Amino acid sequence: MSTDAFVIGAGVIGLSTALRLARSGLRTTVYAAAPPHRTTSAAAGALWGPHLVGADDRVPEWAAQTLEHFRGLAADPAAGVRDLAGVAAAPGRHESGPGESGGPGKSGGPGESGGPSDADVPPFLRGADGLSRCDPATLPGGFAVGWRYRAPVIAMPDYLDYLLAQVLAAGGEVRLGPPLPSLAAAAARTTAPVLVNCAGIGARDLVPDPDLEPVRGQVVVVANPGLTEFFVGEGSGPDEVSYIFPHGATAVLGGTQRRGDASTAPDPATAARILAQCTAIEPRLAGAPVLAHRVGLRPVRPRVRLAAGTLADGRAVVHNYGHGGAGVTLSWGCAGTAAGQVTRLLG
Ligand SMILES: Cc1cc2nc3c(=O)[nH]c(=O)nc-3n(C[C@H](O)[C@H](O)[C@H](O)COP(=O)(O)OP(=O)(O)OC[C@H]3O[C@@H](n4cnc5c(N)ncnc54)[C@H](O)[C@@H]3O)c2cc1C
């Protein structure tokens, strides 16, 4: 069967892009070295909110489009998306947050009151529902500033299964194979007139793109002791963040954001630190059975690369990678932009 679009990558970006392409009637093939459950995407927490992503005026619109999409999916239990209430907190007023987008400690301060104005609200919370400043007395020990809001929390293994099933149902094809050493090698595997590069951190070697930097994240999955709200807390250093994301029977606890570390093996000392910090924040986690350890490499870049280019043989490539710590948050919006570019290229 001939193909219109050859998508490299089966993480949240590749599958979302393939789904939008297949739903628009294009014959779409996904090719990936790792299946969805072994990608960075599967390790994500995941909470909606643009975090650890390069400054870019396209990000708010992509995030807003994805937020609307996730709100719609929350009604479908198969999608793994829950609309939850929770808190983002920080130790207090300071200038360095966990991500380029800023954290809750960058605005406001303990004891401030009144409804939030746009200028008050940390950038990664803009657009979230029901935003209000927390009474500092209600925050866990060590946190002085906090925001309460609602946002989609996504059980990534479930959401990736859902996306894969939707791609197949829309007529797409998904193939696994060895890592492609270059875009020319990818082009040699297909007659498709357009390739779509959704390789995440793999684009560093595939393109190659030295601007892409791995920022390692490790999480611990535990049996959920009954938590129904999320919590995200900035740590005191740039590598530190603590979060708790309930997903029904399980909860994902994090985390780390270590720049330049490309190790994908879980580190037992890091897992112990995550469990201790999260239990200090939420004592009901004490003794919760550990079910899994996950590690992923966030593809951080000064700017998301979503643009068309030309391969050496004259065919087109649409790049869609470099979403940092916000790939889930931006996935559906970026997929729409990428699919629009592919459609235009195909005339
Ligand atoms: C611990 C952690 C927590 C996170 N929390 C959040 C969160 O709460 N919210 C949020 O929005 N984001 C979060 N992120 C970030 C998010 O997970 C990433 O931005 C996103 O997963 C990137 O998706 P991707 O599809 O681009 O890459 P990936 O998921 O890495 O997928 C890349 C795909 O490309 C394939 N590939 C790569 N190179 C090649 C090659 N040469 N040949 C063939 N195939 C190739 C891979 O096999 C894989 O299938 C988190 C990340 C981590 C690690």
- pLDDT tens readout for residues 110-129: 233 345 555 667 778 888 89
Report the SS3 class of residue 18: helix
Supply the pLDDT for residue 120: 67
pLDDT of residue 305: 98
Segment 6-19 shows an average pLDDT of 98
Q: What does the pLDDT read at residue 97?
A: 35
pLDDT tens per residue, range 179-198: 999 999 999 999 999 999 99
Q: What is the dihedral of CA 112, 115, 119, 123, to 10 degrees?
A: 100
- CATH number, domain at 121? 3.30.9.10
What integer is the mean pLDDT of 60-68?
96
**What six digits make up the tokens of 116?**
């939030």
| Probe residue for ligand 1, chosen from 328, 329, 334 as the CB with the greatest number of ligand atoms within 8 Å | 328
Distance CA 327, CA 13 (A): 7
Instruction: Kindly report the protein residue whose alpha carbon is nearest to atom 24 of ligand 1.
Output: 200
For ligand 1, atom 3, which residue shows the shortest CA distance? 44
Same domain, 56 and 10: yes
Query: What is the rounded average pLDDT of the residues 240-244?
Result: 92
282 and 194 part of one domain: no
Q: Do 203 and 243 sit in the same domain of this protein?
A: no
Per-residue exposure over 314-331, b if at least 16 CB sit within 10 Å of its own CB, e if not: ebbbbbbbbbbbbbbbbb
| 347 in Cβ contact with 193 (< 8 Å) | no
224 with 290, same domain: the answer is yes
State the Cα–Cα distance between residues 220 and 291, nearest whole angstrom: 8
Cα 296 to ligand 1 centre (Å): 7
The answer to whether residues 234 and 262 belong to one domain is: yes
Can you give the CATH number for the domain in which 192 is found? 3.40.50.720
The model carries a pTM of 0.94
| Separation of CA 73 and ligand 1 centre (Å) | 21
Name the H helices within the chain: 12-23, 40-43, 59-73, 156-169, 183-188, 203-206, 268-281, 327-346
Q: Which residue has the tokens 């990678």?
A: 321
Average pLDDT over residues 25-29: 98
From ligand 1's centre to the CA of 117, what distance in Å?
33
- Ligand 1, atom 5, lies closest to the CA of 44
Ligand 1 atom having least distance to the Cα of 35: 49
Mean pLDDT of 53-60: 92
CA dist 161 → 17, 25, 100, 168, 284 (Å)? 15, 21, 30, 11, 30
Task: Output the average pLDDT for the chain.
Answer: 92
My answer on whether 85 and 141 are in the same domain is: yes
Tell me, what's the pLDDT at 237? 72
- Domain co-membership, 144 together with 175: no
Q: How many residues does the chain have?
A: 347
| Over residues 212-235, mean pLDDT | 96
Q: 187 and 309 share a domain?
A: yes
Distance from Cα 281 to the centre of ligand 1, integer Å: 28
Coil/strand/helix, residue 25 = coil
Expressed in percent and rounded to 5, the helix, strand and coil fractions of the chain are 35, 30, 40
* Angle at alpha carbon of residue 36, lines to 173 and 317, rounded to 5°: 60
Q: What does the pLDDT average to over 40-63?
A: 94
State the pLDDT at residue 106: 43
Instruction: Give distance in angstroms: CA of 310 to centre of ligand 1.
Output: 24
Residues 156-178, mean pLDDT to the nearest whole number: 98
In this structure, which amino acid lies at residue 263?
S
pLDDT recorded at residue 96 = 36
Ligand 1 pocket residues where CB is under 6 Å: 8-14, 32-34, 39-41, 43-47, 179-180, 198-202, 206, 217, 219, 254-255, 296, 298-299, 321, 323-329
Nearest CA-CA partner of 186 in 317, 301, 304: 317
- Per the structure, the complete domain to which residue 86 belongs is given by 81-152+213-300
β-pair partners for 311: none
184 burial class (0-12, 13-18, 19+ CB within 10 angstroms)? exposed
Pair (126, 255) in one structural domain: yes
Closest to 100 measured CA to CA, from 299, 302, 330, 334: 302
Q: Do the domain assignments include residue 72? A: no
Q: What total of structural domains would you count in the chain?
A: 2
Q: Evaluate whether residue 68 is within a structural domain.
A: no
Residue 236 has pLDDT above 90, yes or no: no
Task: Examine residue 66 and state whether it is found in any structural domain, yes or no.
Answer: no
| Per-residue pLDDT tens digits for 273-315 | 999 999 999 999 999 999 999 999 999 999 999 999 999 999 9
Tell me the C-alpha distance between 241 and 296, whole Å.
Answer: 15
Return the best residue to mutate from 8, 17, 41 for the ligand 1 pocket (most ligand atoms within 8 A of CB).
41
Confidence at residue 108, expressed as pLDDT on a 0 to 100 scale? 33
Structural domain includes residue 74: no
Q: What percent of the chain has pLDDT over 90?
A: 84
Q: What spacing in Å lies between the alpha carbon of 231 and ligand 1's midpoint?
A: 22
Which atom of ligand 1 lies closest to the CA of 181?
41
